[in-house]
Amino acid sequence: MSLDEQFKTAEEAVKTLTKRPTDEELLELYALFKQATIGDCNTQKPGMFDLKGKAKWQSWNDKKGLSKEDAKKAYVEWVNNLMEKYK
């Protein structure tokens, strides 16, 4: 199975979790997904009152420089870990 196919499979599999991962786990999932699909963060940092937006932005921005391919690999691994933990 190609990396793109593994990524798509992981993207669908994560939607089937029966328990909600922690906020930190969800931020990592979000950041890896954005890095894998878009690349380096390309938006401005949200304002100081948008706490959720700032957390998501910071998590994604922390992945700066990670290639899309490496982000996809990390995303697939992360989803597999979440599946084992929360299925």
Output the 3-class SS for 19-52.
Answer: CCCCHHHHHHHHHHHHHHHCCCCCCCCCCCCCHH
Q: Cα angle at 63 between 35 and 30, to 5 degrees?
A: 50
Model pTM?
0.94
pLDDT above 90 coverage of the chain, percent:
99
Which tens digits make up the pLDDT trace of 12-40? 999 999 999 999 999 999 999 999 999 99
